[in-house]
Amino acid sequence: MDSVTPTRRSEIMGRVSSRDTKPEMMVRRIVHAMGYRYRLHAKDLPGKPDLMFRSRRKVMFVHGCFWHRHNNCALARLPKSRQDFWLPKLDANRQRDTKNERALREAGWDVLTIWECELRDAAQLEIRIRDFLDA
């Protein structure tokens, strides 16, 4: 059972943002501090990547572990209530991510997905980003 009323749950979920999230802002600060410049949410690319480096033909997605179903991650646990709603919704998110990444790669873009749980180790994340952007 949910611990809040359906009305309250709707209010809470309605405030979940699709852009400028805390994880995304953390990645943006790291990338900017490293000296890289980027564009945000490129509408002309599949999936509207969170960060786009057009001259390098590279994009980054910053995914929340829950919303995008990060494999083997404690943050990606399923809610106990309304699984008939959540399972199809979250599976559709994952399928859409796969489709968008495939389309980007076929169009000649390199793709890096950064997961919310990876933000815990900023030093390792910085190395991963630098390796991706400098390759």
* Lookup result for tokens 């959540």: 86
**Length of the chain measured in residues:** 135
Mean pLDDT in residue range 72-98:
91
Residue where the block lists tokens 């790669």: 105
Q: What is the CATH number of domain 19-134?
A: 3.40.960.10
Q: How far is CA 76 from the centre of its chain?
A: 13
**Amino acid residing at 12:** I
DSSP letter for 59, please: E
Q: Which residue has the higher pLDDT, 12 or 94?
A: 94
Q: Which uninterrupted H or E stretch holds 87?
A: helix 83-106
Domain boundaries, the chain: 19-134
Q: How far apart (Å, rounded) are the C-alpha atoms in residues 25 and 105?
A: 25
78-107 burial, b for 16+ CB within 10 Å, e for fewer? eeeeeeeeeeeebeebeeebeebbeebeee
- DSSP state, residue 46: T
37 pLDDT tier (thresholds 50, 70, 90):
very high
Q: Which position has the token pair 């990060």?
A: 70
**Above 80 in pLDDT, residue 35?**
yes
